[in-house]
Chains A and B, each alone.
Chain A
Amino acid sequence: MEPVTLVDPPLVLRPPAESDVEGLTQAIQDHEIARWIDAIPWPYTDSDSRFFITQLSRSGWESGDHVNWLITVDDAILGVVGLHRRYPEVQEVGYWLTPAARGRGLATQAVRRVCRFAFEELDAQRVEWQAVVGNEASRRVAERVGFRFEGVLRSRLGRPGSPADAWMAGLLRSDERAK
């Protein structure tokens, strides 16, 4: 599908471009992010962000199976939010914010906007959220958006050799989403 920019003031969620390689590398230099998200390499260098932008994100938008946006305010990169099609009509949401951008409700706003995109543009009936057990910051965001807790998946996440249990929550198209 054609990459789409979502505007939800003050946020601009835009598909990453090749010119964002250095900016993304700088933004993600917080070990807490890679600690909780096993798909993010650590240490993280320009070659990682180049791979993410020019390979993963580009092919993900082309197939529509894996769509990502940079979370920006006044063109400063504050994080990433994305959707991954797990099954027909089921999307999984993922996100992170730079330390400086936290505590202002920006993740909640971005995730809410992206879930709306999943329901309205990607025909999702269900958006799923999973996080390593203990990732309270991510859980608070999901709860504010209206996700309902559904269970703990044992050894579902983690890096090779160090499996981690995962919280699972779901947001349905039919749920009354928190405003």
Chain B
Amino acid sequence: VTPEVPTVRDADLLLRAFVEADADAVLRACQDEQIQRWTTVPVPYGIEDARSFIAGGPAGWQAGRPSFAAVDATTGELLGSFGVVDRNEVGDAEIGYWVAPWARGRGVATRSVRLLCRYLFDEGAERITWSAVVGNVASRRVAEAAGFTVEGTRRLGMVHRGERVDAWTASLLPGELRPGDATERARSGVLATWPIEPVSLHTPRLLLRPYRLTDAPGLLTYASDPVVARWDPEGIDTLAEATARCRRRMDWTSGMAAAWIVADPGDTTILGGVSLHEVDAHQESGEVGYGMLPVGRGRGLATEATAAVVDFAFATLGLQRLCLWHAVANPDSCRVAERLGFALEGVTRKSYRYGDGHLHDEHLHARLADDPRPGSRSDRG
């Protein structure tokens, strides 16, 4: 059985599974002196080595060791190899990589490592590690640029080309991925205004604060409310699922999504949540979503909380357009959208499966940055 291999990408890089047709490019890349010196590829490297490396991909995927070919998203040219080379007994994923000599000097390694690590965190990784022969400075620079912290030197901790050598070791924890400088952000499609460290927002009655791991029990309680559960497409049934969601929501480093817990200032009870997702730097657009416990309804709390996020998206991030989707069967949500000044643009039929398991018709609402603020009146007669 060939496992289904996802693809991940940024503005101009695509990570996908290796295919047989990559063999020639892998063969050419692995003739490189640097790759042969620092990595574990066979030396000398022949076409059979390339073929068996590619043939071993699916088994690696099944064993929790995904491997990706990084390719130019436009031309399809192979640029490098990025994957998990080892899993220890508690599930730490050790990554390994090489970049083809023709693809060096343009940040391919750092951006691909970032994409790989983002994918691994999304899949539930709690700790990603990196290890290299002491002296492999190029690899270390890539790891550090992506956000890894070098933790020490394991003496004789690695066998390299038949010899026991000292090894640098480093780790990356959720929330530590670094997006890089302005040039690199532009290349990866991340807004220059995007905050990597989560920020809190305040309204007259509410505190919108970033998720923490310790929110898991409260989130489980919140998500088990029948109305919340009905409109939550994923659903949360266990503390482990709640923890996994907290971990995803507290990590803003993708530049594509941010999320807040809505609470009373001075009270830890989770009243609701607001999220900003599908943020696209090139299109200058995003989507906003919200949920609220019944206790918070009827007091305009969802509107108040979401308005703060809408302001953040337009004023701080500089987005031009925000979409808002809700099921037609959820009129409470429609009222929030209207109060927030999101114009109804259309109805999409059976477009999304919600927490009740049914495909629902949805309203698409949207607001533009230069739309009038809701509730404001023009003074010019």
Chain A positions within 8 Å of B, measured between CB atoms, are: 86-90, 125-126, 128, 148, 150-156, 161, 163, 168, 170, 172
Contact = CB atoms under 8 A, between A and B. Distances in A.
Contacts of B88: 86
Contacts of B154: 128, 150-151, 168, 170
A151 B153 contact: yes
14 contacts: A126-B155, A126-B156, A128-B154, A128-B157, A151-B154, A153-B151, A153-B152, A154-B171, A155-B126, A155-B173, A161-B213, A168-B151, A168-B169, A170-B157
Nearest to B214: A161
A88 B159 contact: yes
B277 interface: no
Interface in B139-176: 149, 151-157, 159, 164, 169, 171, 173
Given A125-B164, A163-B126, A154 B155 contact: no
A128 B241 CA distance: 34
A172 B154 CA distance: 11
A154 B151 contact: yes
A89, A148, A154, most chain B CB atoms within 10 A: A154
A168 B167 CA distance: 13
Interface of B: 88, 92, 126-127, 149, 151-157, 159, 164, 169, 171, 173, 213, 216, 243
Contacts, number: 57
B152 A168 contact: yes
In the A-B complex, the 4 residue pairs with the closest CB atoms: A151-B152, A151-B151, A150-B152, A126-B156
B127 A152 contact: no
A86 B167 CA distance: 15
Contacts of A155: 126-127, 171, 173
A150 B169 CA distance: 10
Contacts of A168: 151-152, 154, 169
